[in-house]
Amino acid sequence: MNALLAILAFAISIGIALFVPGHGATAVILCAVLAVLTGFFVRQVQIDRDFLSKLFVIGLLLRMLVGTLIFTLNLQEFFGGDANTYDNLGYQLLSTWQGNKIYLANIEIFSAGGGWGMLYIVAAVYSIVGRNPLAVQFVNAIIGVATVPLVYLCAHQMFRNRRVARIAALFVTFYPSLVLWSAQGLKDAPIVLLLVLTMYATLRLGEKLNVKFFLVLILSLFGVLSLRFYIFYMVVGAVAGALTIGMRRTNVQSLTQQAVLLMGIGLAMTYFGVLSTASVQLERFGSLESIQQSRSDMARTATSGFGKDVDVSTTTGALKAIPLGMVNLLFAPFPWQLANLRQSITLPEMIVWWASFPLLVLGLWFTIKHQLRQALPILLFTMMLTLSYSVFQGNVGTAYRQRSQLLVFYFIFVAVGFVLFKEKRENERAMRVRQLTSAPARPVSRNI
């Protein structure tokens, strides 16, 4: 298997280098270097090392193929026009680093609305290999597939169950929309990676105070802030809430550690200037009136808009918008909304997602009943982000894309539900066998 993957990786890399002239070779070389570095960290995982290494390689090759197809067929606008924006502004940012100040105003205007972190990623890549959008796509492919072992670790940290962790990792590796968004020059892949990294660091800190994971947490939070500031506040709220309530039994030592962690996070945020900019950002973008304006624009100007008459500028209106928004966030596009090719190609994965939803409910029920404290950070964050997007979103396409920020966590609970369902079937089968053989029945314990 390892030899086959090595041959496949070599063949795909050579093919991209030869058939994408001017961009393929440098993009492949950069990808190979980053893959080796990332693979080294994947190999440090003590649990299921070989399984995760193979998933890493397969997931990366899959994303490289999808990214190359999008690049060579010029499908950036078809799948995600923001990639062209980041390409242009990232190149302009690099020009300002090189002394050309003509583009400085463009950078400042864009950065004022948040999301400036992606420009730095693009500019950093271009400073190494020149202006090469395919290289940015391959860097995102590395970032996207690096999320897989982190999701595995989060699942294993919460449930101590290898089957749950494996299934969650498989979902994140192969689910089409997660592959698609991490194969383009979009900021979705870095956001998802940082969210998962933040949650994993929080889970580890909830277990034991650790300087390494505290630094990982702080840097991840700052990264989220640089990419999508409003998610940053939800993540901080989830982390602070989980640490305040506690993810293990309370005693003097755990309370002291929780207080130290919360004070450390507060000091770090103050150092990064978050507190000084928070009031400005929340005043400009965080009011219900601002949310209503943004939502109305998405609902009315796009063909896939929904709830055009919904008004979320008041608390009552926002609460009324949640049911419709949540249905579209979780389940759209529906078959009757498939009006063009771009929407129609989502149908196969949506069928998988719709079929998985009962397992998600079962997994959430089990988690809340038996593993609430251990899963508290992820439960709080997914709840807050789901509710926020339910109010904010007025466009099926945008909701479908931003669902990826939730899917990586939802799939952990889908995996829990799947294992519970499978164990129930196995227990029933074992019971029937015992009855047929007249053997005395013995209870079979769950592995979760």
Residue burial 181-204, b: 16+ Cβ < 10 Å; e: rest: bbbbbbbbbbbbbbbbbbbbbbbb
Evaluate whether 205 touches 198 at the Cβ level (below 8 Å): no
Residue 318 pLDDT: 82
Q: How many CB atoms are located within 10 Å of the residue 142 CB? A: 24
Residue 438 pLDDT: 60
CA distance 84 to 98: 21
List the pLDDT tens digit at each of the 448 positions of the chain.
788 999 999 999 999 999 999 999 999 999 999 999 999 999 999 889 999 999 999 999 999 999 999 999 999 888 888 999 999 999 999 999 999 989 999 998 888 777 899 999 999 999 999 999 999 999 999 999 999 999 999 999 999 999 999 999 999 999 999 999 999 999 999 999 999 999 999 999 988 888 999 999 999 999 998 998 888 888 988 998 888 887 666 666 777 777 888 888 888 877 777 766 665 666 666 667 777 777 777 766 666 677 777 888 888 888 888 888 899 889 988 887 777 777 788 888 999 999 999 999 999 999 999 999 889 999 999 999 999 888 887 778 788 888 999 999 999 999 999 999 998 888 888 888 888 876 555 554 455 6
**Tally of CA atoms within 13 A in the half-sphere of 404 that contains its CB:** 27
Question: 217 CB contacts (<8 Å, ≥6 apart)?
Answer: 198, 201, 202, 205, 239, 265
Residue 444 pLDDT: 44
Burial environment of residue 60 by CB neighbours within 10 A (0 to 12, 13 to 18, 19 or more): buried
Q: How many CB atoms are located within 10 Å of the residue 81 CB? A: 10
pTM of the model: 0.92
Residue burial 216-240, b: 16+ Cβ < 10 Å; e: rest: bbbebbbbbbbbbbbbbbbbbebbb
Structure tokens at 191: 């956001």
CA distance 148 to 193: 9
CA distance 99 to 111: 19
